Amino acid sequence: MYTFAVKELLKKIQQLKKAKNAVIFAHNYQRPEVQDVADFVGDSFNLAQKGIETSADIIVFCGVNFMAETAKILAPNKKILMPALAAMCPMAGMVNVAKVRELKEAHPDAAVVCYVNTTADVKAECDICCTSANAVKIVNSLPNHEVIFVPDSNLAAYVAKNTDKKIIYPEGFCYVHSKILSEKVFAVKSAHPSAITLLHPECPPATLEYADKVLSTTGMVNFVKNSKEKEFIIGTEEGMIYVLQKHAPDKTFYCVGGQCIQQKKITLQNTYECLRDEKNEVTVDPEVAKKALSAIEKMLKFGRND
């Protein structure tokens, strides 16, 4: 599958991991070769849990900025490295501290829920964090009638359909999932009428109307593994297809999602260089980390609902 040069690079990374007591975490949207060198591949919720559990001294985080920040907050004594510091989540950049404070001032009785796809300083302003796997469960658990939800308006709209609470949200979005339009899903469903359609809740509300199941990426893996069906339409970033094929090689997948350019800034070469030189260390201001930790720990205690 891989060239000799890639195989050699994979071998060098494995040797460095052993020598430095390091692990590599990779998000489900990473390149196949990066996933293959990782000790753990998963979604934001999984990766946050693994950051606490690992006994490694170094975590090389193959994902976007907020993920590495979350790992540092949960494991402050570990060295967290990112192969590409420029791998920034655009959605996370669509809300800042000033916007959250503005919303809190306008809605003083509202609880504040932030999607894990936010920067550490935004998490520090929130009551509780969530992922796509537990957003509905967390919102429904809150005593407040009003809930401020940042930054993804599509996930917020999905939550709003599954709660009696008033959801207040700004207009943030994932540029990959927002392009998974209903017309495209309809066309693929028409071409493959036996396929089960699994869509991520970051997709637009009109698109989610075509879903057989709305799931996080790990929810998709679990569903596919346990399903007797053989064909699936997958509505999330295209890297997820490699994950699903590894877990269910006997099944067929039709992807309706595009590519996250930010996630693909991580390569095998810069992963190797990052670990070799122990460069691109991620840090979080201690006061910000202390406040954000509370919101993240509350999220983890809720577990998943998919």
pLDDT digits (tens, 9 = 90+) for 197-210: 999 999 999 999 99
The Cα-based distances of 163 to 103, 106, 138, 141, 147 in angstroms read 20, 21, 10, 10, 11
Phi, psi (deg, nearest 5) at residue 187? -65, -40
Q: Which of 95, 63, 59 is nearest to 275 (CA)?
A: 59
Q: What is the mean pLDDT of the chain?
A: 96
Tell me the helices (H) and strands (E) count for the chain, helix number first.
14, 12
Neighbours of 94 (CB within 10 A): 20
CB 238 within 8 A of CB 257: yes
E strands of the chain, at which residues?
22-27, 40-42, 58-62, 79-81, 111-115, 128-130, 146-150, 166-168, 196-199, 213-214, 231-235, 252-255
CB 28 within 8 A of CB 46: no
Sheet holding 166-168, edge to edge: 128-130, 111-115, 146-150, 166-168
Distance between CA 42 and CA 103 in Å, rounded? 32
- List, in order of start, the domains of the chain with CATH numbers: 4-88+263-277 (3.40.50.10800), 92-173+286-302 (3.40.50.10800), 177-255 (3.40.50.10800)
* Model pLDDT, residue 303: 81
CB 62 within 8 A of CB 271: yes
Residues in Cβ contact with 117 at an 8 Å cutoff, skipping those fewer than 6 apart: 44, 66, 89, 91, 92, 151, 152, 174
The model's pLDDT over 152-164, given as tens digits with 9 standing for 90+, comes to 999 999 999 999 9
Neighbours of 168 (CB within 10 A): 17
Distance between CA 242 and CA 245 in Å, rounded? 5
What number is the average pLDDT over the span 17-22? 98
3-state secondary structure of 170: coil
The model's pLDDT over 42-72, given as tens digits with 9 standing for 90+, comes to 998 788 888 889 999 999 999 999 999 999 9
Q: Tell me the pTM.
A: 0.95
3-state secondary structure of 201: coil
Least confident stretch, 1-10, 31-40, 239-248: 1-10
Give the residues across from 95 on adjacent strands.
none
Distance between CA 302 and CA 106 in Å, rounded? 28
* Model pLDDT, residue 45: 79
